[in-house]
Amino acid sequence: MNRFIVLDDPKVKSLIQSKEKLATEVINIGKEIEKLEEKRNKLVLKIERYNGKADPLLKKYLKEDELGEFEKHQRVYLEGDELRLEIIDELEEYKVYIKQAKEEAKKNKDGDKQPTKD
């Protein structure tokens, strides 16, 4: 059997009460996160079902022979009332990525240079 000592320290009591209140809040937030994750997962499944229904209908617009060598279908979306099928050129996308990586590397290299003493 455990034993305990009753303390009479209002400052420590206040700190412990505040800590316990925060701990309860953390637990409640965790429960909210779980509920939101469940809701998100259900919505994702619905989206996947819509994609499953739309994909066969879109096949007639996605003929491989009409796409360039490095082009591919990116997404279908609404722009106002207009239904758009976005096609991207993967080669051009990669070129942009490489340029950005080079610029970032140059920035990092230039940032590492120390001023020279004359």
Report domain extents, the chain. 9-61, 65-112
Torsion of CA 37, 42, 48, 49, to 10 degrees: 180
pTM of the model: 0.54
| Per-residue pLDDT at 68 | 81
C-alpha distance across the termini of the chain, in Å = 77
Tell me how far CA of residue 9 lies from CA of 3, 4, 14, 18, 20, in angstroms: 19, 15, 9, 14, 16
> DSSP code of 40?
H
| Per-residue pLDDT at 111 | 67
**Number of other residues whose CB lies within 10 A of the CB of residue 93:** 13
% of the chain beyond a pLDDT of 90: 59
| Per-residue pLDDT at 107 | 87
Interval 19-74: pLDDT, tens: 999 999 999 999 999 999 999 999 999 999 998 898 888 877 777 667 788 888 77
Structure tokens at 49: 């079902």
